[in-house]
C-alpha cells in the first residue's frame, strides 16, 4: 500500500529538479499526478516515463486562466484534487546596481502570486474531497537575507507568511498548508542560475558539507502531503543540511 493511494496531486514546475523528483516519488506512493511546467518537451517525456497515472499539462503559474484550465482537466481525468505542491519558481541573482523593476516583478509574479493563485483556484476542489494538503516551496531565503537575491528573498519570505494565513483560513475546511525550506539543492536552478562564488560560499555555510539532492527534498514534501503529518499545519519544514542552525 502506498502513502498516497487514490490521491490526486498537482505538482507545478515538475519538468525537472525538486518537482520532478517529487512527481516520481508520488507515483511510487500510489498517487495520480498532474505534472505542470512551462518546459513542455521535458515535462511530457517525464510524465510518459511515469505511466498511466501521470500526465503533463502546460501551465504558467502566474496566469489564472492556466490554473483554471489545469484544474478543470485534472478533475475531468482523475477527479478532485487533494494535494497541491506549489513548487515552480525562478531565481534571479544580480547585484543591486544591475537589478531592475522588471526582475522584481517577474519574481513576484511567479514565486509569490503563482503560489497565491494555486491555493485560491484549487481549494474548492479539495472541499469536494473533504480534506487537502498544500505544500508551498519556500527556501532558506524565506528566513534570512542574501546579497544579490532581493526579489527572491522577498518572494520566499512572502510564501512563508502566506502559508501561515492560508493554514488559518483553510483549517476549518480540513486543508493543511505547510512550507518547505530547502537549502542549496543540486538542480538545474542552482547549476544554471547561481554564480560559482555563491555555490562555494553555500557549501562552506552548510554543516553537512554538500548540496542536497532533489530526492531528499521530495521526501519532506511527501511527509507533508500524506497522513504522517496529519497534525501539522501552518509550519515551516527545513531541509538544508544544517545551514540555518
Ligand atoms: P528548477 O530546477 O529551475 O525547476 C523549476 C521548474 O519550474 C523549471 O522547469 C522552470 O522552468 C519551471 N518554471 C519557471 N517559471 C515557471 C512558471 N511561470 N510556471 C510554471 N513553471 C515555471 O528549480 P528547483 O531547484 O527544482 O526549485 C524548485 C523550487 O524550490 C523553487 O520554488 C525554488 O525557488 C525552490 N528552492 C530551490 C532551491 C535549490 O537550491 N535548488 C533552494 C531553495 C528553494 P524554467 O527552467 O524554464 O524556468
- Tens digit of pLDDT for each residue in 230-243? 999 999 999 999 99
Q: Give residue 192's pLDDT.
A: 87
Taking residues 81-92, report their average pLDDT.
Answer: 98
pTM of the predicted model as reported, rounded to 2 decimal places: 0.98
Q: Give residue 100's pLDDT.
A: 97
What separation in Å is there between the alpha carbon of 172 and the centre of ligand 1? 31
How many Å apart are CA 222 and CA 29, to the nearest integer? Answer: 9
What separation in Å is there between the alpha carbon of 221 and the centre of ligand 1? 15
Lowest model confidence (mean pLDDT) among 93-97, 125-129, 207-211 = 93-97
Contacts 24+ apart (CB under 8 A), 36-39: 36/10, 36/11, 36/12, 36/61, 36/70, 36/88, 37/12, 37/13, 37/88, 39/15
Count of Cβ atoms closer than 10 Å to residue 105 Cβ = 12
* Residue 245 confidence (pLDDT) above 90: yes
Supply the DSSP symbol for 243: T
Q: What is the dihedral of CA 202, 207, 210, 212, to 10 degrees?
A: -90
Q: Ligand 1, closest atom to CA 182?
A: 43
* Residue 194 confidence (pLDDT) above 90: no
**CB distance 207 to 243 below 8 Å:** yes
Nearest CA to 131 out of 170, 174, 163, 166 is that of 174
* Residue 191 confidence (pLDDT) above 90: no
Q: Ligand 1, closest atom to CA 214?
A: 26
Give the whole-number percent of the chain exceeding pLDDT 70.
100
- Tens digit of pLDDT for each residue in 5-33? 999 999 999 999 999 999 999 999 999 99
What separation in Å is there between the alpha carbon of 19 and the centre of ligand 1? 8
How many Å apart are CA 106 and CA 113, to the nearest integer? Answer: 10
Nearest CA to 182 out of 4, 57, 21, 40 is that of 21
What separation in Å is there between the alpha carbon of 149 and the centre of ligand 1? 15
**CB distance 59 to 15 below 8 Å:** no
Q: Give residue 72's pLDDT.
A: 98
- In the structure, which protein residues have their CB atom closer than 6 angstroms to any atom of ligand 1? 12-13, 15-19, 37-39, 59-62, 87-91, 110, 137, 139, 182, 184-185, 187-190
C-alpha neighbours within 13 Å on the C-beta side of residue 4 = 30
Q: Give residue 208's pLDDT.
A: 97
Q: Give residue 8's pLDDT.
A: 98
**Has 152 been annotated as catalytic?**
yes
193 band by pLDDT with thresholds 50, 70 and 90: confident
* Residue 198 confidence (pLDDT) above 90: no
* Residue 219 confidence (pLDDT) above 90: yes
Every domain of the chain and the residues it spans = 8-239
Write down the catalytic residue from 56, 99, 123, 152: 152
* Residue 152 confidence (pLDDT) above 90: yes
- The matching CATH number, chosen from 3.20.20.80, 3.40.350.10, 3.40.50.970, 3.40.50.720, for 8-239 is 3.40.50.720
Q: Ligand 1, closest atom to CA 111?
A: 32
Amino acid at each position: 500500500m502506498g502513502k498516497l493511494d487514490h490521491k490526486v496531486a498537482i505538482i507545478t514546475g515538475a519538468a525537472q529538479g525538486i518537482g520532478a523528483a517529487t512527481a516520481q516519488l508520488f507515483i511510487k506512493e500510489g498517487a495520480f499526478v498532474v505534472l505542470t511546467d512551462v518546459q513542455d518537451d521535458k515535462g511530457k517525456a517525464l510524465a510518459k516515463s511515469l505511466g498511466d497515472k501521470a500526465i503533463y499539462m502546460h501551465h504558467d503559474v502566474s496566469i489564472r486562466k492556466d490554473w483554471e484550465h489545469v484544474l478543470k482537466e485534472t478533475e475531468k481525468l482523475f477527479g478532485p484534487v487533494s494535494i497541491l505542491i506549489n513548487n515552480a519558481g525562478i531565481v534571479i541573482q544580480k547585484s543591486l546596481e544591475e537589478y531592475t523593476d522588471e526582475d522584481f516583478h517577474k519574481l513576484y509574479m511567479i514565486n509569490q502570486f503563482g503560489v497565491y493563485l494555486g491555493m485560491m483556484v484549487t481549494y474548492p476542489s479539495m472541499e469536494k474531497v473533504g480534506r487537502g494538503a498544500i505544500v508551498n516551496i519556500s527556501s532558506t531565503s524565506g528566513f534570512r537575507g542574501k546579497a544579490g537575491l532581493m526579489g527572491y528573498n522577498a518572494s520566499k519570505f512572502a510564501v512563508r507568511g502566506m502559508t501561515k494565513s492560508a493554514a488559518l483560513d483553510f483549517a476549518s475546511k480540513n486543508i493543511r498548508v505547510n512550507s518547505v525550506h530547502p537549502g542549496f539543492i543540486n538542480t538545474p536552478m542552482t547549476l544554471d542560475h547561481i554564480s560559482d562564488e555563491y555555490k562555494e560560499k553555500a557549501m562552506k555555510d552548510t554543516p553537512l558539507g554538500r548540496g542536497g539532492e532533489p530526492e531528499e527534498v521530495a521526501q519532506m514534501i511527501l511527509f507533508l502531503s500524506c497522513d504522517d503529518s496529519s497534525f501539522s499545519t501552518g509550519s515551516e519544514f527545513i531541509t538544508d543540511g544544517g545551514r540555518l542552525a
